């Protein structure tokens, strides 16, 4: 009997999960320098000494999280074999969108004995959560490493970075030893900290540099061997995915996405081998898919403001001041059948939010006493793609569904 699936008999994938975001590679390639710096920063743990605090910096997709997880696993294994080392516990929290209270409560709940009731959501404050955390750390003893991924996203990094590293010297804990590892893709994070924290943190900084095309090829080759069936990919696909990502910002995640989506394009097209043609086609799908998600995460009026700046950009009228953007925005909102917001302040709020989210760049202007002080904005993305994406969102289309020409 034949059904809608019966003619799908082949796949290029041997194990598609190898190309997924969550996949933790068994081997880290092309990060020897970073690994070496990391090794030295953590060596104290092997000898039962207080760990150094470490801050990891680098743009998106450069292996900060992957290398950190790899180092933590390796350190846990090594500590097992060492007499001089104390027992080691590693606690990892992603701080994105979390308050300090939630972060500390998450750690407390991880440390509490299995039969204890969890730390309450309401009623107690951050100070109480820290106190419980310290009690638990001393109860367990040994060395504890706290990994705070995306630490720049926490609402109160100052308190976290002031409290934890000083817990021992302030007498909050006696037995346990603490080390803190912060990961951030914002190089200016340190500058944003209070002088008191900056002076006391004494951290080791490790900077992750962008991958070049050759390095990306090595990483992709390793993945491709596990991900695809024999003969399922052509070297041109690897070269193309590496070259495109290297031209952009050297982001390994992007290069892996290109390879995965390229393979999906090949399959849709009924081809049994992934080539550079499929990867090139994947390029716009990956870009558009990601942009579409970012745009649709915004509120309706923020999207209209974005569309307004994209229209101005297309017409060569940027950088533009907020008043001019507001006029265009009013037209955009009406064209989609919505009453526009009426205050300049609300538009300025959206502009600065969209700037923080990386949609716009913002230029500060000072025109002496008479002109005053104001900002101008321009789009940090391709205006045509933003306008196309906005239109397709309004019309409820899926722009990634274009057939392979
Ligand atoms: N050197 C590497 N070897 C193997 N895989 C890597 C390497 N670097 C990055 N990757 C892979 O690339 C993807 C992105 O890496 P990772 O998540 O570590 O980036 P990141 O620097 O933490 O980025 P972000 O700042 O966006 O969180 C992951 O799937 C990871 O496994
Ligand atoms: Mg990460």
Parse the chain into domains and list their residue ranges.
Answer: 31-207, 212-295, 299-400
**Residues with Cβ within 8 Å of residue 3, at least 6 apart in sequence:** none
Distance of alpha carbon 240 from alpha carbon 136, whole angstroms: 51
Question: Which residues does the chain have with pLDDT short of 50?
Answer: 399, 401-405
Angle, helices 322-335 vs 300-314, to 10°: value is 110
Output the six-digit token pair for 186: 């914002």
Q: Of all protein residues, whose CA lies closest to atom 13 belonging to ligand 1?
A: 253
Output the six-digit token pair for 54: 């470490």
φ and ψ at 92, to 5 degrees? -115, 130
CATH code matching the domain that covers 31-207, chosen among 3.40.50.11540, 3.40.50.300, 3.20.20.140, 2.102.10.10: 3.40.50.300
Ligand 1 atom with minimal separation from the 222 CA: 4
Q: Of all protein residues, whose CA lies closest to atom 25 belonging to ligand 1?
A: 60
Q: Which residues surround ligand 2, an ion (CB under 5 A)?
A: 65
Distance of alpha carbon 317 from alpha carbon 328, whole angstroms: 11
What is the pLDDT, as a whole number, of residue 402?
45
**Residues with Cβ within 8 Å of residue 209, at least 6 apart in sequence:** 58, 62, 250
Distance spanning both ends of the chain, measured CA to CA: 32
3-class SS at 147? strand
C-beta of residue 246 within 8 angstroms of C-beta of residue 61: no
Give the Å distance between the CA of 68 and the centre of ligand 2: 9
Ligand 1 lined by 64 (C-beta under 6 Å) = yes
Ligand 1 lined by 384 (C-beta under 6 Å) = no
The DSSP secondary-structure symbol of 395 reads H
What is the pLDDT, as a whole number, of residue 403?
40
**292 is annotated as contributing to ligand binding:** no
Rg (CA), the chain: 25
Q: How many CB atoms lie within 10 A of CB 348?
A: 18
What is the pLDDT, as a whole number, of residue 31?
97
**38 is annotated as contributing to ligand binding:** no
Q: What is the third-level CATH fold of 299-400?
A: Arc Repressor Mutant, subunit A (1.10.10)
C-beta of residue 66 within 8 angstroms of C-beta of residue 21: no
Which residue from 38, 58, 66 has its CB within 8 A of the most atoms of ligand 1, so it is best to mutate?
A: 66
What is the pLDDT, as a whole number, of residue 405?
36
Ligand 1 lined by 60 (C-beta under 6 Å) = yes
What is the pLDDT, as a whole number, of residue 398?
60
Ligand 1 lined by 252 (C-beta under 6 Å) = yes
* 212-295 maps to CATH 1.10.12.10: no
Output the six-digit token pair for 4: 């809608």
279-308 as b/e: b if 16+ CB within 10 A: bbbbbebbbbbebbeebeebeebbbbbbbb
Give the Å distance between the CA of 136 and the centre of ligand 2: 28
């Amino acid at each position: 009997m034949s059904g809608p699936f019966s003619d799908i008999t082949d796949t290029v994938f041997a194990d598609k999960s190898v190309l997924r975001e969550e996949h933790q590679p068994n081997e880290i390639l092309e990060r020897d320098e970073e690994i070496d710096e990391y090794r030295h920063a953590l060596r104290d743990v092997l000898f039962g000494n207080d760990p150094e605090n470490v801050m990891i910096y680098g743009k998106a997709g450069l292996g900060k999280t992957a290398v950190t997880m790899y180092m933590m696993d390796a350190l846990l294994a090594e500590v097992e074999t060492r007499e001089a080392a104390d027992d080691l516990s590693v606690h990892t929290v992603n701080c994105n969108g979390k308050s300090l209270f939630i972060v500390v409560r998450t750690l407390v709940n991880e440390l509490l004995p299995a039969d204890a009731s969890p730390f309450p959501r309401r009623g107690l404050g951050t100070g109480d959560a820290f106190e419980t955390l310290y009690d638990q750390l001393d109860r367990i003893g040994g060395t504890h490493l706290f990994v705070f991924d995306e630490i720049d996203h926490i609402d109160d990094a100052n308190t976290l970075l002031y409290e934890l590293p000083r817990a021992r010297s302030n007498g909050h804990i006696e037995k346990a030893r603490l080390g803190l590892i912060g990961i951030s893709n914002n190089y200016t994070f340190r500058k944003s900290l209070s002088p008191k924290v900056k002076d006391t943190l004494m951290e080791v900084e490790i900077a992750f540099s962008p991958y070049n095309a050759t390095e990306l090829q090595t990483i992709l080759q390793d993945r491709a061997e596990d991900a695809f069936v024999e003969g399922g990919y052509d070297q041109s696909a690897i070269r193309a995915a590496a070259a495109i990502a290297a031209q952009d910002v050297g982001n390994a995640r992007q290069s892996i996405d290109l390879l995965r989506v390229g393979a999906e394009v090949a399959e849709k097209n009924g081809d049994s081998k992934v080539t550079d043609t499929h990867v090139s086609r994947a390029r716009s799908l990956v870009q558009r898919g990601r942009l579409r998600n970012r745009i649709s995460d915004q509120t309706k009026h923020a999207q209209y403001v974005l569309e307004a700046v994209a229209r101005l950009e297309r017409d060569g009228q940027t950088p533009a001041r907020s008043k001019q953007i507001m006029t265009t925005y009013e037209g955009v909102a009406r064209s989609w059948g919505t009453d526009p917001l009426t205050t300049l302040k609300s538009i300025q709020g959206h502009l600065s939010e969209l700037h923080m989210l990386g949609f716009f760049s913002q230029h500060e202007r000072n025109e002496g006493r008479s002109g005053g002080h104001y900002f101008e904005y321009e789009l940090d993305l391709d205006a045509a793609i933003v306008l196309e994406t906005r239109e397709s969102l309004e019309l409820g289309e899926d722009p990634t569904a274009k057939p392979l020409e």
